[in-house]
Structure formats: structure tokens, C-alpha cells
Amino acid sequence: MKVYKFGGTSVGTIETMRTVMNLVADGTQKLVVLSAMAGTTNRLVEISDYLSKKNKESALGIINSLEKKYYNVVFDLYTTKEMKEQGKRVLEERFDFIKSFTSGVFPEYGGRAILAQGELISTALFTLLMQESGHNALLLPALEFMKIDNDKQPDNYYIKDKLNTLLKKSPKADYYITQGFICRNEAGEIDNLQRGGSDYTATLIGAAINSEEVQIWTDIDGFHDNDPRYVENTKKVDTLSFNEASELAYFGAKILHPQTVLPAMMNGIPVRLKNTMNPPDPGTLITSDSKTKGIKAVAAKDGITAIKIRSGRMLNAYGFLKNIFEIFEFFKTAIDMISTSEVALSLTIDDPKHLDEIVAELKEYGKVEIDHNQTIVCIVGNMIAEEKGFAAKVFTALDHVPIRMISYGGSRHNISVLINTNDKKATLQALSNKLLNS
């Protein structure tokens, strides 16, 4: 059984929902993961923010506006009176739940519970649409099998056990529909896999049921070899290895959630990225093996902070790096890039939440310098770190760009450079001109 995942833009309008239904209903059994309709999640975040600030009047204004929008969707989406009534009952239940948070004290879990309503609505309405069109579709509630642990990581054993049990106990269907993004936490509260988590849901499900393939449908044909928002004439990448795809996703390729690849890679399940608006295109296929060598694509990750620690205590000393890394571990702050010399260490982080506390601790070990507004540009391919002259080509292409840090040799698939964000567009264009299109 294949797993199909469709994002918010794919189910953003009545027309696109019908398009998705036609893509799904091809006669082969599959499990379909849906996001909330485009724009809904942002509105739900606004509602939660207002309620957390005790501004119930503003929250109710958005709730009523969103509810009216969805009633119009139900009126136009279905053709029969019976399905229109069922759709209205779905909305009544979901919006009554949201409105229940406008009275009394807003609980800590309230924002997460409200945020989940977008996926609960979209999947219920889509399932009804499938059923009205004569398809054997069944809704599988993700909150009954998707769970994270105390570290906010998926509980893979729980997911596999509960999902397969639910599939066995449910009536047999051709098309199973479920929610992306949402889950329960260790306490049983409604929680989520963070933004972009619907991709993650799809591969977690694929791993749990040993799917033959996971297809992630978006509004683009697949991975491109550069960022089309900054570079013209980018080309689609036909095949990638799991390692290459995970590097690109982590370092800024927006088409794929960074954690998505791991469940598929661990279980050897192919992942295919396809375009909802261009179904005949085969998209990008991600598998265990990379079909071709050399550079495949570049990606850029903004919002990076560079930290340099300079200390004579590093020289010929053991345990120094351990002490430095323990500071980041204590503040649960991940490190992206690292570069060392005899008396200095440079590294980057993408989450500055605890930066002041981290810097205060680091000053116990030496002089600390901070650079904000940095960007990591990642050049990804198959065994590029072993290709003769490849590093020279990269640095020749970027001979006009000031480079703050270089990461080379840590991976056979990646060379990364740290630059000022103001130089991002020039860097991507130079790599496109002198490496990708040369």
C-alpha cells in the first residue's frame, strides 16, 4: 500500500480538493495524509495568541470569520443535501470545540488543541467528498495512533502497533484518510510534529505499515538544483539518495521537512516528490542509492548565528571541546557547522533562544565573538568530497564572496560555507552559473 501526502495548497480550494480526489481514486489501495486547508493554520495560531493574551473578543472575531468561510466551503463542495448536512455537523463539532476555549482560563495545551482543528476539519470534509463520489473511503483518526515521547520524538513502536491494530479493526477500505502534523504527547494531550510535520507523518506511517512508496505531493515538480526564488532557470533533480535529500532538506530546501527522510531511510522505503498540478511528471525519487555522481543541488539556510571562542587553553588540551559542547547540550541548542584551529573554535546555531545564557557560559573559557544574519549554503552531491578538484571549483566559483566558515570532509555528500545573508543571492547565482550549469 502506498502513502500519499498532500499539503495545504493541494487542498486549499474546492477545485484543488477535487483534483486531489481524482489523483487518489485510481483504483489502488492507499493511505492518504492531509494537511489543513491553506491559510487555516495561520488563523488558528492567531486565535490561540489572542486567547493566551485574554483578548477573547478578537479571538471570537477570527473564529466567526473562519467558521463562515468553512460553511461556504461545505455549501459548494457537496452536491447532495445529506452530505451538506454531514459537513455542517463536522463544522459544528470542531468550532464548538474551539469556542469552548473562549470561556474560563486558557489552558497551557489549548493552543496545540486549537491548532489541530485544521487537519481534523480538512480530513473529515475530504472523506465525505470521497464517499459522496462513490469511493470506499474511511477516516483514520491520527490522534488514535500518532504519539510523541517526552523528548518530542515519535514513539515508533507505539505508532506501528496502534496503526496496524486500527487498520485490522476498521472496515476494509480502498482509501484511508488521516491527518498529518497532529499527534498526542506522553501526557495524552493533543500535540504536533511542528510546522511541516505532515511530511514527517507520511514517512512515519510509511515505515509503520512497510509501505511500498511514500509520495509527497506539493505545488512543485520535485527538488530543484537551486532555489527558484533567487535563481532563474533551475532544473529538477530526478533522483537523490536519502543522504543527499536529508542534507538539502536540513540546509534549507523548503520542499521537504528536515526530519522526513529518516523513517523512510531506516526502513528502505522510496520517497517520491510530485506536483499536484502536474501529475504526469515523475517528480524526484529518493532512494537508498544515488544514481549519479557529482554535484546535485545547492540549498541555503538563513537565520544562522556564528559563535567564535578564542582561548589559549585549547592548545594541546583535552576535554576543552567536551566542556564547550556540554553548554550547548544543557541549553538544548543544536550546532550546525564546526571549524577548529589550535586556539579557536567557530560554530553555528539556528536557534538563538538561549544565546545570551550560552555566551555567558562560554566566556568562562575564552573570548567570544558573535556574528548574526548569517546563511549556510550547502552544496550536495554523491561523493563530492572525494572528487578531485571539486573543492577548488567551489571556491573558484565563490572567489568574489567573503566566506566566514567552511565545512568540508565531515560528509561525503556535502560542502557547506557560511556567508553573510546579504551575499546569499550572489552566492546561489554564482554556484548555478559556474557549477550547476557550466
Specify the CATH architecture of the domain 296-436.
2-Layer Sandwich (3.30)
Residue closest to 31 by CA, chosen among 227, 202, 219: 202
Tell me what pLDDT residue 331 has.
95
pLDDT at 124 over 90: yes
pLDDT at 181 over 80: yes
Tell me what pLDDT residue 235 has.
92
Inter-CA distances, 265 with 133, 193, 349, 381, 410, Å: 36, 19, 25, 17, 20
Q: CB neighbours of 64 closer than 8 A, spacing ≥ 6? A: none
Q: Which three cell numbers stand for residue 410?
A: 565531515
Band of residue 340 on the pLDDT scale cut at 50, 70, 90: confident
CA–CA gap between residue 283 and residue 332 (Å, rounded): 36
**Strands 367-382 and 338-340, sheet pairing:** unpaired
pLDDT at 293 over 80: no
Mean pLDDT of 370-387: 84
pLDDT at 277 over 60: yes
Mean pLDDT of 274-303: 88
Ramachandran angles phi, psi of 437, nearest 5°: -110, 10
Mean pLDDT of 223-248: 90
Ramachandran angles phi, psi of 298, nearest 5°: -125, 155
CB 164 within 8 A of CB 209: yes
Q: CB neighbours of 219 closer than 8 A, spacing ≥ 6? A: 7, 9, 10, 275, 276, 277
**Residue predicted with more confidence, 55 or 411:** 55
Q: According to CATH, where is 3.30.2130.10 located in the chain?
A: 296-436
- Report the CATH superfamily, name and number, of domain 2-219: Acetylglutamate kinase-like (3.40.1160.10)
Band of residue 387 on the pLDDT scale cut at 50, 70, 90: low
pLDDT at 312 over 90: no
Q: What is the CA radius of gyration of the chain?
A: 24
Band of residue 390 on the pLDDT scale cut at 50, 70, 90: confident
Q: According to CATH, where is 3.40.1160.10 located in the chain?
A: 2-219
